[in-house]
Amino acid sequence: MDDAIIDRIAFLQEQISPDNKAVVNQTFQIQINILQKAQLDRLDELVAIRRRDLKDCKSVIHSDRIFAELEALEWLQRQVIRHT
């Protein structure tokens, strides 16, 4: 499981490029940060919280951040299922 997370983080780091728009690189960095600090024992709770936050969000900029976090958390959820 740890190897999958490390590989995903490495993949995301490789995607960061000066040729990308800043928002694209920020999205990758947000996902990296989430994967580095995600608490596997609270994963379902964190996904539910971010989904609720997304429903309540009125800001496009903030919703983009939530989408990026949610994408990383949902990827992690799939990995947990796959590796158990």
- Which SS3 state, helix, strand or coil, does residue 64 take? helix
From the CB of residue 48, how many other CB atoms can be counted at a distance below 10 Å?
12
Position 1 scores a pLDDT of 78
Ordered per-residue pLDDT tens for the chain, 84 residues:
789 999 999 999 999 999 999 999 999 999 999 999 989 999 999 999 999 999 999 999 899 999 999 999 999 999 999 988
From the CB of residue 76, how many other CB atoms can be counted at a distance below 10 Å?
22
Q: What is the 3-state secondary structure (H, E, C) of 18-60?
A: CCCCHHHHHHHHHHHHHHHHCCHHHHHHHHHHHHHHHHHCCCH
Predicted TM-score (pTM) of this structure: 0.92
